[in-house]
Chains A and B, each alone.
Chain A
C-alpha cells in the first residue's frame, strides 16, 4: 500500500493552511518592497539635496572649471585668507571648502590642494573634484610641454576585444555579465531554498516527536515513506511560496513604480553611473540593457533550464534528507545546533567558491573540483554551467550527486527510523553511527 501521496498531501495542506505561513507568504513581499522603497526614497532625497561648495583658488589655475550643476553649486571666493574663508563657509553652512594654494610644480600639485569640511565628505564628491582638477591641470601641463591635448584626445583609439570560442561561439563582456547573473541567481536561490525549507522539514519532524504521534503513524506507514513524504510535501510548499513571492513581487514592483513614478531603468542608471564612468566613460544605457537581454537569450537556455531543475532537485533532496535526520535525532529545536554546523558549512563554502572563484575563472581547478563534490556541486555547478560546461562533466557531476543523495537518504532513513522512537538524551555522533548499524 502506498501512503506517500496521502502523507505528501497532509504535509502540504497543513503547512499551507497554517496562519503563520499565509501571513509570511503575503507579508514578506510587502515588507521587502517597503524596505526597498524606503532605501530608494532615501537615495533620491540624498542626491536631490543641493550641495554648496566654496572654492578658494590662490593659484588661479582651476577656478573657472567649476560649473554649477543641479546638485552642486560652487561659490568662488577671492582675495581673502584661508582663515577668513573657513569662517565664511562655516557661517553659511556650506558643505565644504576647496582650497588650492599657489602651485609651483604641477607634478606635485596634490600637495597644494585641500578640502575642508565639517564632517567627512562623500567619496563620490571628492573623486569628482579629483577628476575635474586632474583633467584641467593635465591639460595645462600639456600646453606647457608644447603638446596639444586636443590632438591627444582625437588620437585616442577605443578597443573592445571581441571574444570567440574555438567552435565559433561569439561572446563579449556583456555576455559574461549575463552568465554571472544567471549563475549567481541560481546558486543563491538553491542556497536560500535549502536553508528555509530544510529547517521547515526539521521542525515538522521534531513536531511529530514532541507531540508523540510518531509511533501511531509508523504503525501504519514505513518510516522511509513518512520521511520522503515530509521532504516532498515541504518542497511543494516551498515552491508554492516562491511562486507566490515572484508573482506578488513583480506585481508590487510595477504598482509601486507606477504610484511613485520611479523609473526603474533610470534608477539603475544613476547607480551604475559612477562605475560606468570609471570603466568606459559614458555609454548608452539602453543599449547596454538591450545587449544584456540579448546575451541572456543567447545562453544555452535549454541546457540551463534542464540542469537547473536537475541540480536544484537533487541538491535540495540531498540536504533536506540530512535535515530530516537531524530532526529525528533530537527532541527539540535547541538541540539541533550541534548537528547543523556540518550541514551549513559546505553550503556556505559552495556559495563562496561560486561567488568568487567561479566568476574569476569558471573552469579553473578549484571551480571544477568543487563542481564535482556532491555537497557543493549543486550550487557551484549551477554557477559554472552558463559559462559552458561539457555535457559529460554535467552528467558525471549529477550522477555523483544522485548517488550521494541516495546514500544520504539511506543514512537519514536509518537515523530517522531509530531516532523518532528515542526520547530523552540528546544523542552524540557516536550514538548516531551506532543507530545506522542497528
Chain B
C-alpha cells in the first residue's frame, strides 16, 4: 500500500449546490500533498469529508486501505482554516482536553506537551489563558495540539496564516521534521511559494471538480514549453536578436543581472535540444545566463483555472 489516503469518486451536494463532483485523490505515504484551488472550489468540503465531519453523498475514502471509520480520527490531525481555542481556558488544561478527545492518555499527553512546549520555547505558557496570548502565540498552541497525538495523516489548512516570518519558518521546519518522522501531510493553501517549497504532490480543485493532480515535478515537466531564458553579451544586439529570431521563437526576457546584456526567452522547436541552442549561442558572444524556464506552481494554478 503506497497511498495513505485514497478518496474515490467523492461527491457532495448541499441542496442544489454541488460542493464536490466525483473527486478522487491519492495521497502517497510520506508525501506532502498540496490541495489547491481558488476560494470556494470545494477544498474545505473534501477535507471535512476526510475528517468525517461531513458525510459524502457518494464515493468513499480509504485510510491506509481501510474504509474510513470513527476510530480513524486518532490517526488524523486536522488544523482547520477556521480555528480557535476556548478563550477563557488555560493553555495546559485546554491542550490536555483536546489531546484526550483524540484518545490520548493524560500522563502521556502531558509529557509530550511539555516536550513540545520546550521545543517551541513556550513552556511558561502552561497556566496562561488563551485570551492573554497574542494571535500568533495561540496559533503555536493550536499547531502543537494538532500534531500532539502523532497522527499518521496531518491536514493543514492555511497553516501559516497569522504567523510572522520567523514563526512561519519554525512551523515549516516542524512540518518537515514530522514528515521525516513518517507523517503524511495534506496541505491546503493559497500561498504558492510554500507549495513550491514543500509539496511533492498536488491536486487542483476548481468549481467542485478535480482538474489536475500528480507529482509536482511531473506536472511541471508536462507544463514546460521547452523555453530557455538567456543573457548574452554581444556587441551588436540587434543583429544577434534578428539572427536568433530566424532560427528560434524569441521574445524579450526580464530578469535581474549585473550587466546590460541582451536578455531573451528562446522557445525551442521539437527537433532542437538545449545543447543545440547552447552551442549556437557560444558562437555569438559571451554567455552570462542560461536557464530552462520551468513553470511555477503559481503559473500552473492560474493557467489551469483560466482554461477551465
A residues neighboring B (CB under 8 Å): 1, 3, 6, 10, 14, 18, 207-208, 211-213, 215-222, 421, 423, 434, 437-438
Query: B83 contacts A10, CB within 8 Å?
Result: no
Query: B80 contacts A215, CB within 8 Å?
Result: yes
Query: A6 contacts B100, CB within 8 Å?
Result: yes
From residue 88 to 133 of chain B, which have CB atoms closer than 8 A to chain A? 88-89, 97-98, 100-103
With beta carbons under 8 angstroms apart, the residue of A3, A14, A18, A213 that contacts B84 is A213
- Cβ distance B308 to chain A, nearest Cβ, rounded Å: 27
Query: A212 contacts B88, CB within 8 Å?
Result: no
With beta carbons under 8 angstroms apart, the residue of B71, B86, B98, B145 that contacts A211 is B86
Q: Which residues of A contact B86 (CB under 8 A)?
A: 14, 207-208, 211, 213
Query: A216 contacts B88, CB within 8 Å?
Result: no
- Cβ distance A214 to chain B, nearest Cβ, rounded Å: 8
With beta carbons under 8 angstroms apart, the residue of B87, B88, B101 that contacts A217 is B101
Q: Which residues of A contact B142 (CB under 8 A)?
A: 216
Query: B85 contacts A219, CB within 8 Å?
Result: no
Query: B88 contacts A18, CB within 8 Å?
Result: yes
Tell yes or no: B255 within 8 A of A by CB.
Answer: no
Cα(A216)–Cα(B52), bound, Å: 12
Cα(A423)–Cα(B84), bound, Å: 14
Query: A6 contacts B15, CB within 8 Å?
Result: no
**CB 8 Å contact bits of B20-59 with A (1 = contact, 0 = none):** 0000000000000000000000000000100111000000
Query: A216 contacts B53, CB within 8 Å?
Result: no
Q: Which residues of B contact A438 (CB under 8 A)?
A: 14-15
- Cβ distance B290 to chain A, nearest Cβ, rounded Å: 49
Query: B82 contacts A221, CB within 8 Å?
Result: no
Query: A423 contacts B103, CB within 8 Å?
Result: no
User: How extensive is the interface on chain B, given as a class?
Assistant: 20 to 34
Known: A10-B97, A14-B88. Contact between A423 and B82, CB under 8 A? yes
15 pairs, CB–CB < 8 Å, chain A vs chain B: A1-B70, A3-B101, A6-B101, A14-B89, A211-B87, A213-B83, A213-B85, A213-B86, A215-B83, A216-B98, A219-B53, A219-B73, A219-B76, A220-B98, A438-B15
Q: Which residues of B contact A217 (CB under 8 A)?
A: 98, 101
Q: Which residues of A contact B70 (CB under 8 A)?
A: 1, 222
Query: A221 contacts B89, CB within 8 Å?
Result: no
- A14-B86, A211-B87, A421-B53 known, 17 other contacts, Cβ within 8 Å: A1-B74, A3-B101, A6-B100, A14-B89, A18-B88, A207-B86, A207-B87, A211-B85, A215-B53, A216-B78, A216-B80, A216-B98, A218-B53, A219-B52, A220-B101, A434-B15, A438-B14
B residues neighboring A (CB under 8 Å): 14-15, 48, 51-53, 70-71, 73-74, 76, 78-80, 82-89, 97-98, 100-103, 142, 145
Query: B83 contacts A212, CB within 8 Å?
Result: yes
Cα(A219)–Cα(B145), bound, Å: 12
Query: A220 contacts B82, CB within 8 Å?
Result: no
Known: A1-B103, A421-B53, A434-B15. Contact between A216 and B97, CB under 8 A? no
- Cβ distance A13 to chain B, nearest Cβ, rounded Å: 9
Cα(A6)–Cα(B103), bound, Å: 11
Cα(A219)–Cα(B142), bound, Å: 14
Known: A1-B103, A6-B100, A14-B88. Contact between A212 and B51, CB under 8 A? no
Query: B83 contacts A216, CB within 8 Å?
Result: yes
Closest to B73 in A: A220
Cα(A94)–Cα(B190), bound, Å: 88
Known: A6-B101, A216-B78, A216-B80. Contact between A1 and B89, CB under 8 A? no
Q: Which residues of A contact B14 (CB under 8 A)?
A: 438
Q: Which residues of B contact A221 (CB under 8 A)?
A: 101
Query: A219 contacts B97, CB within 8 Å?
Result: no
Closest to A18 in B: B88
Q: Which residues of A contact B98 (CB under 8 A)?
A: 216-217, 220
Query: A212 contacts B84, CB within 8 Å?
Result: yes
> 7 tightest CB-CB pairs across the interface, nearest first?
A212-B84, A220-B101, A215-B80, A211-B84, A219-B78, A219-B51, A213-B84
Q: Which residues of B contact A218 (CB under 8 A)?
A: 53
Residue with the highest number of chain A CB atoms closer than 10 Å, among B79, B82, B102: B82
Q: Which residues of B contact A423 (CB under 8 A)?
A: 82
Q: Which residues of A contact B52 (CB under 8 A)?
A: 219
Cα(A42)–Cα(B101), bound, Å: 56
Closest to A6 in B: B100
- Cβ distance B142 to chain A, nearest Cβ, rounded Å: 8
Cα(A318)–Cα(B145), bound, Å: 35
Q: Which residues of B contact A10 (CB under 8 A)?
A: 97
